Amino acid sequence: MAAIEDQLLRALSAFPEIRLALLFGSRASGRPRADSDIDLAILADSPLAPERRACIIEAVALATGCPIDLVDLYHAPEPVLGEALKGVRLLGNAAAHAQLVTRHVLNAADFLPLRERILTERRSAWIG
């Protein structure tokens, strides 16, 4: 396990309500730049209250020395949910992960074709 993953696990262990934690983005893919933040997706038993979210961000930032972009997976929209699911699972069991994958597949089937059609129509209207 990479050093950043160890640091994240230690910081997140202070938050027992976290059911699933995913590292995604450039840090998960192994291609971070010097100024890259840490993209972290968290699923708890309920939506994260702003104060609790701030506590998690602070703990992780102090542990890693990096800026944190925290996504609350409880209500994460597409395509953010899909991007997070491409990452590395740090915490959580397969069942919690599978529930999110199922939600993503259903959302993608329902929502993404409509989104693409809207974007195509907008491009067509603006570009001609």
Q: Write down all domains in the chain, each with its CATH number in brackets.
A: 3-127 (3.30.460.10)
Indicate the pLDDT class of residue 62, thresholds 50, 70 and 90.
very high
pLDDT at 128 over 80: no
Smallest Cα–Cα separation from 32: which of 62, 70, 5? 5
Average pLDDT over residues 8-18: 97
At 99, the pLDDT band (50, 70, 90 cuts) reads very high
Buried b (16+ CB within 10 A) or exposed e, 88-105: bbbbbeeebbeebeeebe
Q: What's the pLDDT score for residue 33?
A: 87
Checking if the pLDDT of 1 tops 60, the result is: no
